Amino acid sequence: MKIAVVILNWNGKKLLEQFLPSVISNSEGADVYVADNASTDDSVSFLKNNFPSVTIIQNSENGGYAKGYNEALKSIEADIFCLLNSDIEVTKNWLAPIQDTFKNLEDTAIIQPKILDYKNKTYFEYAGAAGGFIDKFGYPYCRGRIFNTVEKDKGQYNDEQNIFWASGACLFIRKPVFDKLGGFDESFFAHMEEIDLCWRAFNMGYKTQYIGLSKVYHVGGATLQNTNPKKTYLNFRNSLFTLVKNAPGNLFILIVTRLLLDGLAGIKFLFEFKFNHLFAILKAHISFYLNFYKYLKKRKSSPKCPQYYKTTSIVWDYYIKNNKYF
């Protein structure tokens, strides 16, 4: 089973210098690629001079995460793609449990390992933790991380578990499935595109799995910090697009309820004096209204399972019922 580990890079020479050695030394049997998104620093020359075993793919423009990977993966032949952020340290034998699962479970199309915080290695990392889920209204959360509450790793998720979505920070996917899905939705640019991909796979009957025996450490926020209003804008906007494309049932009631919940989030930002984030939500909603019919056309006629969510509202569970842990 041929695995291609593909790292997307944009002006990330320092991250490559820090983290690429661990990927090369611990990924025996896999081919390592760096897909460069038209960097303006000296990332490419640095790679050529220091990592001759790494294959470099040079994209013509910075199309973000979605288009960057779509373009790069067209030229890679492998059974499994591993999409790996440039700010991740991998561990010894991290690939073995992943390979075993793909070999033994043919209906598993996507896999995520345990993702821990590089800066605080006894805790889970925000982006993915121990596997992702989503509530009825499209708000994502993880085993090990709900909103801003992150759990300490005590071995509670050292298991194998079906999940709803895998983090784009470290996502394994079978190449035939990626091709069948048509890759990522490039209009997302960045954030939530992996949830959209996993949801489309789910609607087609494929499974996404978490493997706790495989472990990586993620810096997180190397591209956009959680405090960046642009990240708030992309997350709120793309989450609404994902609902329109993939959620079953009465879309009107679902979207209206979600918009009201977003309004509550905006009020919260207002009282916290985070005006840039409030305006980011307003901007996300304006973009959603302008592009609604475009995404409605992407809504597929394939069967949609109504049980995509485990809890109706993670907002209610977390803020009203005070359930902070998965």
CB 123 within 8 A of CB 153: yes
Alpha carbon distance 295, 135 (integer Å): 20
User: Of 309, 145, 320, 314, which Cα lies nearest the Cα of 242?
Assistant: 309
CB 246 within 8 A of CB 203: yes
Q: 29-57: b or e for each residue (b if 16 or more CB lie within 10 Å)? A: ebbbbbbbbebeeebbebbeeebeebbeb
Query: Would you call 199 exposed, middle or buried from its count of C-beta atoms within 10 A (0-12, 13-18, 19+)?
Result: buried
First CA to last CA distance, the chain: 34
Q: What is the pLDDT of residue 163?
A: 98
The per-residue pLDDT of the chain, averaged, comes to 95
Please give the distance of CA 256 from its chain centroid, rounded to a whole number.
25
Q: Where are the alpha helices (DSSP H) in 129-274?
A: 175-181, 193-203, 229-246, 251-271
Domains and CATH numbers, the chain: 3-218 (3.90.550.10), 229-320 (no CATH)
User: Of 212, 180, 196, which Cα lies nearest the Cα of 101?
Assistant: 212
CB atoms within 10 A of CB 99: 18
Q: In this predicted model, what pLDDT tens digit does every residue of 212-249 receive, in sequence order?
A: 999 999 998 655 556 789 999 999 999 999 999 999 98
Q: What is the pLDDT of residue 227?
A: 72
pTM: 0.94
Q: What is the pLDDT of residue 194?
A: 97
Task: Assign 23 a pLDDT band (cuts: 50, 70, 90).
Answer: very high
Q: In this predicted model, what pLDDT tens digit does every residue of 83-132 receive, in sequence order?
A: 999 999 999 999 999 999 999 999 999 999 999 999 999 999 999 999 99
